[in-house]
Amino acid sequence: MTARIRERLKRAEKLREDEREFLWLKNLQWTEAQRTDARNYQSGMVVQFHQNAPGFQRGERVTVKQRDERSVQVERENGKTASLPMDKAAGFQVYEKQQIALAPGDMIRITQNCFTRDNQRLNNGELKRVQGFTKDGNLKLTNGWVIAKDYGNLTHGYCVTSYDSQSKGMDRVFVAENSESFRAADRQQFYVSVSRFKEALTIYTDDKRQLLEAVSKSSERPSAMDLVKTEVARNDYRTTRPMRELRPMRHTRLSLVHRIANLIDEGARRWLGDVFRVGQQIEARTGKAEYAKAIKPTESVKPEEKIVEATKPLTVREAQEQTVRPNLKPPATPSVRAASVFNPKPTTTMPNLKDDCFQSANGHCFCIEFHIGKQRRGFHSSHLIEYTLDENPEAKGDSNCPPEKLVLAFATADVIVSGWRLGRLASQLHENKLAIVGIQSKRSDESDANKPCVTAITITPITKP
């Protein structure tokens, strides 16, 4: 490819005819294990140090003279012979001597950091253009810098790898990817290659279909958190529930701290066992036993209907608290947190909502409870997938029918709240402060014009697929 490009440049008279040959050190790309094996070395190879080693300085270049099964003898610039420190193979690279033809107008690429004859720094990967030659036979660049003729760590700059082309831009870019390089191709590499051009891009390949398959895969390495999320989605049916009918929604996002806390909490529950099974006996140090009974879900709940008379299921944390601290008593006055699923002994006294149909938490709320008559149903706030505030289509032309409905889609059930001025509840959901929602006894026309009024709550469970 490079030879054809230079040939066309010569025909266009952009390269002068007086080209010369210079030393080119071709990196053999040996691994550190290969560099420590003396049997791989051949006479005439060049070893260059990029780190200080015992008896050798950084940047020093030596030539291999002879070798045996365990050691390699090299010749230094002063003609003296020394033994190559094989245990310091991480500090040097091995090259093969070749020749490279350069002419005024050629583009060259630096392959190793160095300094010019006039003490200017050259960085690995830089592209420079040759202006001509000095009287001593050194290379002179268009910016006036001079590179020694025996420098060797350079090559033609017309073709570069995707890795070396990062942060560079050209007017016209040609990408060549044949079937031999498909194993190293991926989505990230292909993006770097095709995003270097400013005016035109041309891609050359011998198999379009395999190239498309190769660049479709990703080489990104997942983090530990990504693997945890994948495992959670695989083991929890609630995150893979069947898709329901799409409807307009208002998205809400949890804070970063809340998301991390929920992730850790859900992982710990699955590892320890989320909830004790129905009827399982929990032995405390006091010798007393209690039974955990699950709440039976209902398809639709009205204010005058009962869900089921049962106690809340006990989690592992609640059982441990009863076992380790059996003499502790719950607070006399129930709070928002005491009414949640984390309360070791939920009180049967209903919180007093007074004239309001909802209650907010002072800080972050872990549970949202719905009070229907004398019964209540709670959902963990981390199970809230989405919520939607819509107009009630059944209220058209009927002033006594609630004009709004707030739909909350949890992982295990759908909750529909009907009433007036429900935007306040949606704002509390957005701030993650909504703790309790109940049905208001007063009619909407008797309430404050700025307060929300809830007249009905319907809960529809989502069954396991």
Q: What is the pLDDT of residues 372-413, one digit of tens each?
A: 888 888 898 888 888 888 888 887 778 788 889 999 988 888
Distance CA 279, CA 171 (A): 74
User: In percent, how much of the chain has pLDDT > 90?
Assistant: 23
- State the DSSP string of 267-332: HHHHHH-SBPPTT-EEE-TTS-EEE--PPPP-S---TTS-----PPPPBHHHHHHHHH-TT----S
Q: Tokens 């959670």 appear where?
A: 232
Scanning 26-112, the segments in alpha helix (DSSP H) are: 32-35
Residue 40 above 70 pLDDT?
Answer: yes
pLDDT of residue 275: 41
Query: Given the structure tokens 């310091």, which residue do they identify?
Result: 88
Tell the residue number behind the tokens 């895969």, with chain if given.
217
Across the beta sheet with 384-391, the strand order is 384-391, 404-410, 413-420, 453-461
Structural contact between residues 50 and 34, judged by C-beta atoms closer than 8 angstroms: no
Rounded Cα distance, 174 and 161, in Å: 11
The pLDDT mean for the chain works out to 76
Q: CB of 151 within 8 A of CB of 120?
A: no
> Is the sign of the CA dihedral 439, 444, 447, 453 positive or negative?
positive
pLDDT at 88 over 70: yes
Q: How would residue 194 be classed by pLDDT, with cut points 50, 70 and 90? A: confident
Query: Is 452 in contact with 438 (CB distance < 8 Å)?
Result: no
Residue that the structure tokens 């404050």 belong to: 448
Q: Helical H runs in 67-107?
A: none
CA dihedral 422, 428, 432, 436 (to 10 degrees): -70
- Asked whether the predicted pLDDT for residue 255 surpasses 70, the reply is no
- Report for 42-46, 266-270, 327-331: range of highest mean pLDDT: 42-46
Residue 177: name the closest of 159, 199, 164 by CA.
159
Q: Is the pLDDT of residue 348 over 90?
A: no
Q: Is the pLDDT of residue 446 over 80?
A: no
Cα–Cα distance for residue pair 338/346, rounded to 1 Å: 7
pLDDT at 250 over 70: no
The percentage of the chain sitting over the pLDDT mark of 70, rounded to a whole number, equals: 70
- CA 298 from chain centre, in angstroms, equals 40
Q: Which secondary-structure segment (H or E) carries 232?
A: helix 224-235
CA distance 328 to 306: 31
Q: State the Cα torsion 367-372-374-379 to the nearest 10°.
A: -20
pTM given for the model: 0.45
Taking the C-alpha atoms of residue 148 and residue 299, their distance in angstroms, rounded to an integer, is 85
Mean pLDDT to the nearest integer, 144-171: 86
Q: Where are the domains of the chain?
A: 2-213, 274-346+353-461
pLDDT at 73 over 90: yes
Q: Report d(CA 244, CA 182) in Å as an integer.
A: 41
CA separation for the pair 353, 454 (Å, rounded)? 12
Phi first, then psi, for residue 391 (nearest 5°) are -80, 145
Q: At what angle do helices 256-272 and 224-235 cross, to 10 degrees?
A: 50
pLDDT of residue 16: 86
The stretch 425-449 carries a mean pLDDT of 75
- Name which of 10-19, 142-151, 238-247, 402-411 the model is least confident about: 238-247
Length of the chain: 465
Q: What is the pLDDT of residue 49?
A: 93
* pLDDT(448) > 70: no
Residue with the two structure tokens 């529950």: 269
